[in-house]
A and B are shown apart, each in its own frame.
Chain A
Amino acid sequence: MSTLDTAALGRPIKGPSALGTDLRRLAQLSVTLAVMEFKLRFFGSVLGYLWQLMRPLLLFGVLYLVFTKFVRLGSDVQYYPAILLTSIVLFTFFSDATSRSVTAVADRENLVRKIEFPRLVVPLAVLLIAYFNLILNLLAVLVFVLITGVDPRPEWLAFPLLLIPLGLFAGGLAMLLSALFVRFRDVQPIWEVVLQAAFYATPILYPLEKLPDPDLQKAVVLLNPLATIIVQMRHTLIDNSAPTAWDAAGGMSHLLIPAAIVLGVLVLGFWVFNREAPRIAEEL
């Protein structure tokens, strides 16, 4: 059938894929899309950014009242308000990045079906927007933390490092969920429930030491990477006397378990997304 001298034609085009052929284009597109989307949210309504900040703040206000005045879970914990707010902001990042990514590919159907671009751009842009938001929220948190009497320390410089595993974890899930949603529409309600469970399975409302059983404390830090990150955050950013993640986990080497979970989710997410990417335009 072929009448063409294929040897002279160079390489055939690859078709749609997760990464595309040019990683720079992947990065440029993700950033451009994220910036535009962020602009829309920021300037989209009169209150703009304020609304973005309000959600975690309101949640914080309610939880703070309940857990210091009524339940008294946090009333004897030093810097409880600062820990609570920072944890909520970190969790908001995680929940934003993952839950928005679920429908992200389907929402961008118009782009996916009409133009060639590295498909990974879609979840990556969602992750970037969540990061932009997180950075702004952390500025507000910083002010709050200083007001509540925490003194700045050189260790603070290590705090941004914590945002890396957090982003990798959220990014892995973002890839997984956005690819699955194309085929399975009930991923969305399922993920909402999982997120709610994750909120309570992470020491946000309660400091880790309030868990009755030391083995349980250890298990939480080992098996829930969010918990590992938040425990370490408390030590680094707010309360030097609080245990580090490795102390809580029972040794530095034990941290390999949450690290492996994050890495596993990342690899699984990429594998699934990469497998689905060529067919996303047809499946939608």
Chain B
Amino acid sequence: MTDPATGTPAIAVDGVSKTFRIPHERVNTLKERALHPFRRSGYDRFDALSEVSFAIERGEFFGVVGRNGSGKSTLLKCMAGIYRADSGAIYVNGRVSTFIELGVGFNPELAARDNVLLNGVMLGLSPREARERYDRVIDFAELNQFEELKLKNYSSGMQVRLAFSVMVQVDADILLIDEVLAVGDVGFQQKCFDIFNKLRDEGKTILFVTHDMAAVRRFCHRAVLLERGKVVRIGEPTEVADTYVDLSFHRGAEDAAPREAGRIGDGSAEILEGWWEDEHGERQTILHQSRPCSFHARVRFAREVTNPAIATVFENEQHQPLMATSTEWTDGSTGRFEAGDEAVFSVHMDMAFAPGRVYASPWVAHGQQRVMDRRPQIASAVVVGAHVSGGLVDLPHDVRLESGDRVLQGQGGRS
């Protein structure tokens, strides 16, 4: 590493553009070239990256997010020196190791020692360094018993462990990581993140390309969101992740039109519309978990009604009722409405439902028996959030574990 006091960023990306040319007709033999020396087939241009600029500080854990085809992998490959940027420049200060795939160069026919050497050298170690680190690698991977085995006889889990420990022992200043974590089970992913945290604490700079917003929120100091090769947003990981989610769900959230089927009522009142709002009072089809939100329904009475009850139930995609509420639970009666009067009913809460689609089905009734209007699933929204507990709701709560003098405490249901 160079002197951190100078404040030179670990990576600076300055106006980088990259265009791929995709020929309509690929000429890939000398014969064709010889037969038609002057024929040039047309090609499509695909702007994978256009004018991307940002800087990553030393010791930062930096997330790169974006939808498929947004250019994040191309960006990573440009930074890694696998692709050459068409214009702009990338400045890198420190030793870089790239992990587009774990265990690059691994050969199934070779034993662990040779593979560690091969992989280590590919990742930038000298052969001597790679040999010196072999014992640490094998210890870290907990594969001491299997050193002599050829890699093809390793289980896939063992191979990943080996690859991972090489990565940790390579000792790069800057790590470029491309969704290697997509492999492996939850336990393994946790181990990966533990390692990343450790590396981060050691002052390594980590750039991490991912789809996993939970990981971005949990680990990244900052993140950048790419869309069609352009920087859409850069900054706080939570904001970037929210923008990403908005972008990804935008189309999907509006799919569910209010259902007419199942509408019942005697026509003396009509629920005109129902909608969701966020904490700023903006209508939304996307709601963020544990943030304030509200459901609203506008009702018009067709004739004079005294003390009607307006209620709603919230359901998830499997039509399981998550929660129901009603004006019956307010203090006092709702009063008298003339024909033609309108009222807006609303429910305000912190969104505690598990991520997924949530429907609101409100109704207006008079007493217990007479339903004036019932509109099943009049409004739907997608709840987004990083936290998937497996439960239908995630209520704010505290977790405690006490044993003798030790007290372990944590909070759940709040992100």
Contact = CB atoms under 8 A, between A and B. Distances in A.
**A and B co-occur in one complex:** yes
Interface of A: 1-4, 6, 8-16, 24-25, 28-29, 31-33, 36, 39-40, 44, 110-117, 180, 183-187, 190, 278-279, 281-282
A50 to B, nearest CB: 18
19 contacts: A6-B89, A9-B8, A10-B91, A10-B93, A12-B89, A14-B81, A15-B81, A16-B83, A24-B126, A25-B124, A28-B121, A39-B110, A39-B114, A111-B122, A115-B104, A185-B29, A186-B29, A190-B30, A281-B83
Interface in B192-233: none
A10 B10 CA distance: 11
Contacts of B104: 110-111, 114-115
Interface stretch (B12-20, B319-327, B364-372, B407-415): B12-20
A2 B53 contact: yes
Contact of A282 (B20, B96, B100, B121): B20
B100 A115 contact: yes
Contacts of B8: 8-10
Contact of B55 (A4, A16, A183): A4
Interface in B74-99: 77-85, 89-93, 96, 98
Contacts of A25: 124, 126
B80 A115 contact: yes
B117 interface: yes
B118 A33 contact: yes
Contact of B126 (A28, A36, A116, A185): A28
Given A4-B14, A13-B91, A111-B104, A116 B28 contact: no
Contact of B90 (A12, A32, A111, A184): A12
Contact of A6 (B14, B33, B107, B121): B14
Contacts of A186: 29-31
B109 interface: yes
B28 A184 contact: yes
A4 B30 contact: no
A15 B30 contact: no
A248 to B, nearest CB: 34
Contacts, number: 120
B83 A282 contact: yes
How big is chain B's contact interface, by range? 35 or more
A113 B82 contact: yes
Contact of A114 (B14, B89, B101): B101
Contacts of B79: 13
A90 B92 CA distance: 46
Given A6-B14, A9-B12, A40-B110, A115 B82 contact: yes
B9 interface: yes
A112 to B, nearest CB: 8
Nearest to B74: A282
Interface in B122-173: 122-124, 126-127
Which 9 A-B pairs have CB atoms at the shortest separation, nearest pair first? Answer: A15-B84, A12-B89, A116-B81, A9-B91, A186-B29, A278-B84, A114-B100, A184-B30, A32-B121
Nearest to B128: A28
Contacts of B265: none
A14 B82 CA distance: 10
B51 interface: yes
Contacts of B29: 184-186
A15 B89 CA distance: 10
A240 to B, nearest CB: 43
Contacts of B292: none
B105 interface: yes
B222 to A, nearest CB: 15
A11 B81 CA distance: 14
A14 B84 CA distance: 8
Given A39-B110, A112-B82, 13 more contacts: A6-B89, A8-B8, A9-B9, A28-B126, A31-B127, A36-B118, A115-B98, A115-B105, A184-B28, A184-B29, A184-B33, A281-B83, A282-B20
A112 B118 CA distance: 15
A117 B81 CA distance: 8
